[in-house]
């Protein structure tokens, strides 16, 4: 399914691709203004809304799974009603009650196949080695949470005192081939480190190596990062998210919006997405989040990049080079660097600028402003 990087996959093609691996996603309003992907037959409700939802729709409910950390529940519908999950959420008064479908988030570069890898002896092209970023010690430290596919013990990271690896899943489908988004988190963390070498990176795996996640997984990852930071006595100053979703009503999924209200003391930076659309892409389109588009040669907006009034910054996102891990025979892992394109790789550059400004000034508002000045989005 690899294509030229400028020809992205439609949501319908992504749904079919993931279905071939057993993932049951519903494409709502295919090709229309309300198009979005959700987990088929699944609703998310807040704790106060659960009993009224069950009272009203009990005949359609198959099971309930409580997510204690988020104070929400997954309500799974019976087979005959599973294609109606968005309509049922609307009937429940979604925005007023906190009831919503569980939206599928797309990893931003999944449209462009796999990266071209260099530096390990088996490359189709010659490339100059990418130097390892320096390792200055920032005092006080600036901590960046990276919510992605993990971060492998690549040589760029493994010798740093703060590094705690979150191993990449390279072949989740066990087909003896590397998954198309495997290595993505290691790559994004490397971009961040190249542009802010003194930052402390705290990775959290929320994104599948096949290129998707969902509302609950992202919200749970954000909350886990907060709790882990509190246990360490750290403050997270920056958060980087490289996936997102559209919704049927073009509003942010409630469980994400609620969790991000707890992140007012951090600069949250998110990829704007790669669908060449102006429709809001969540959580990037939240006013509290710095939404990052991608530019190409000459600083022009990349053809694949989302755009719109909700975008705050734009940074280079075409042929970005960074750290990468590749699956080798016998279950080994080979480390080198790769070239990849997408708004996923623009976002950590903006996040790095915010981290550097936060290191210099200690002022979160100025850090956000400095990042947007350095990488302006031309409307």
Is 184 labeled as catalytic in the residue annotation? yes
List, by residue range, all CATH 3.40.50.200 domains of the chain.
110-374
Is 152 labeled as catalytic in the residue annotation? no
pLDDT of residue 68: 85
pLDDT of residue 49: 85
Q: What is the CATH number of domain 110-374?
A: 3.40.50.200
Query: Considering 8, 184, 195, 359, which one is annotated as catalytic?
Result: 184
DSSP H or E run through 219: helix 215-232
- C-alpha 292/C-alpha 2 separation (Å) is 25
pLDDT of residue 122: 39
Q: What is the CATH number of domain 11-104?
A: 3.30.70
pLDDT of residue 4: 36
Could you tell me the mean pLDDT of each successive run of 10 residues in the chain, 379 residues long?
Answer: 46 91 95 96 90 90 91 94 94 73 81 46 52 93 97 96 96 82 94 98 96 96 96 97 96 95 97 94 98 93 94 94 89 87 95 98 97 94
List, by residue range, all CATH 3.30.70 domains of the chain.
11-104
- C-alpha 212/C-alpha 2 separation (Å) is 17
Q: What share of the chain is helix, strand, coil (3-state, %, to 5)?
A: 35, 25, 40
Is 344 labeled as catalytic in the residue annotation? yes
Query: Considering 305, 322, 341, 344, which one is annotated as catalytic?
Result: 344
**Which residue intervals of 63-183 are DSSP H helices?**
85-91, 94-97, 155-158
pLDDT of residue 112: 38
Query: Considering 8, 105, 108, 148, which one is annotated as catalytic?
Result: 148
Task: Return contacts of 284-291, CB within 8 angstroms, 24+ apart.
Answer: 284/241, 284/244, 284/310, 284/311, 285/252, 285/310, 286/252, 286/257, 286/260, 288/260, 288/261, 288/263, 288/264, 289/241, 289/260, 290/350, 290/351, 290/354, 290/368, 290/371, 290/372
């Amino acid at each position: 399914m690899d294509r030229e990087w400028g020809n992205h996959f439609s949501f319908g093609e992504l749904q079919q691709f993931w279905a071939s691996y057993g993932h049951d996603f519903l494409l709502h309003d295919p090709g229309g203004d309300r198009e979005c992907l959700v987990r088929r037959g699944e609703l998310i409700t807040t704790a106060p809304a659960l009993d009224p939802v069950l009272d009203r729709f009990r005949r359609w409910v198959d099971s309930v799974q409580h997510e204690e950390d988020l104070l929400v529940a997954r309500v799974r519908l019976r087979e005959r009603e599973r294609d109606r999950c968005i309509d049922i959420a609307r009937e429940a008064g979604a925005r007023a009650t906190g009831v919503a479908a569980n939206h599928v988030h797309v990893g931003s570069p999944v449209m462009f196949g796999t990266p071209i890898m260099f530096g390990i002896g088996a490359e189709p092209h010659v490339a100059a080695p990418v130097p390892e970023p320096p390792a200055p010690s920032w005092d006080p430290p600036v901590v960046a949470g990276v919510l992605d596919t993990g971060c492998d013990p690549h040589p760029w990271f493994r010798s740093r005192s703060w590094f705690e690896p979150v191993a990449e899943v390279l072949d989740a489908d066990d087909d003896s081939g590397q998954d198309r988004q495997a290595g993505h988190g290691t790559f994004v963390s490397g971009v961040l480190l190249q542009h802010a070498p003194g930052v402390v990176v705290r990775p959290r795996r929320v994104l599948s190596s096949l290129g998707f996640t969902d509302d609950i997984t992202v919200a749970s990852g954000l909350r886990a990062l907060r709790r882990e930071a509190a246990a360490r006595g750290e403050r997270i100053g920056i958060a980087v998210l490289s996936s997102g979703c559209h919704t049927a009503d073009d509003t942010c999924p409630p469980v994400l919006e609620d969790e991000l209200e707890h992140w007012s003391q951090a600069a949250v930076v998110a990829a704007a997405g790669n669908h060449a659309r102006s429709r809001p892409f969540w959580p990037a389109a939240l006013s509290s989040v710095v939404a990052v588009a991608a530019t190409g040669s000459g600083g022009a907006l990349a053809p694949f990049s989302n755009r719109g009034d909700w975008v705050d910054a734009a940074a280079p996102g075409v042929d970005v080079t960074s750290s990468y891990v590749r699956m080798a025979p016998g279950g080994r892992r080979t480390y080198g660097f790769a070239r990849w394109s997408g708004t996923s790789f623009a976002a950590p550059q903006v996040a790095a600028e915010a981290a550097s400004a936060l290191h210099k000034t200690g002022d979160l508002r100025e850090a956000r402003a400095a990042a947007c000045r350095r990488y302006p989005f031309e409307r």
